[in-house]
Amino acid sequence: MTEGAKPPAHADIGAPKGIGVFICSCGGAISRKLDIKRLRWVAAADPNVRDVLCPGCCCEEPAMGEIKLSLMAGDIDRLVVAGCSARTASERFLQMAESAGICPDLVMFTNLMDLCAGYPKADPQ
């Protein structure tokens, strides 16, 4: 850039569209410990959330297709995947988000398996 020249203008940054929340029961491993219906209700109550899906296993092909359709509907530009560790399926979700036009930096993983559901319930005495 030459001296005195103005930096190029960037494109306008639009308002966020909304969040897609995808809660995985991990084939029952999470749903045996956590109330998935309640989690869905809580997520759907947030005015920024546009869609909440609760497939049996988010990282399997039928669910991935359903999630991608939700993302491509156009009213979601951020997503939260709540289920098992991001180590196991994050690459798939990041690629899917990018193919649906969503920046991979706007994908969040919440590890319900390790943080909540993986521990045995305390024995009330």
Mean pLDDT of 12-20: 78
29 within domain boundaries: yes
Average pLDDT over residues 116-121: 62
Q: Say if residue 119's pLDDT is above 70.
A: no
Residue 96 lies in a domain: yes
Residue 5 in any domain: the answer is no
Among 94, 34, 27, 33, residue whose Cα is nearest residue 67? 94
Residue 76 burial (C-beta neighbours within 10 Å; 0-12, 13-18, 19+): buried
Q: Which domain holds residue 103?
A: 19-117
> How confident is residue 31, by pLDDT bands cut at 50, 70 and 90?
confident
- For residue 122, is it within any domain? no
Indicate whether this model's pTM tops 0.85: no
pLDDT tier at 40, thresholds 50, 70, 90? very high
Is 12 within a domain?
Answer: no
pLDDT tens sequence across 58-99: 888 888 888 888 888 878 999 999 988 778 778 888 998 898
The pLDDT assigned to 27 comes to 82
Is 123 domain-assigned? Answer: no
**CATH number of the CATH domain containing 77:** 3.40.1400
Number of domains observed in the structure of the chain = 1
Q: What is the dihedral of CA 22, 69, 20, 64, to 10 degrees?
A: 30
Percent of the chain's residues with pLDDT above 90: 26
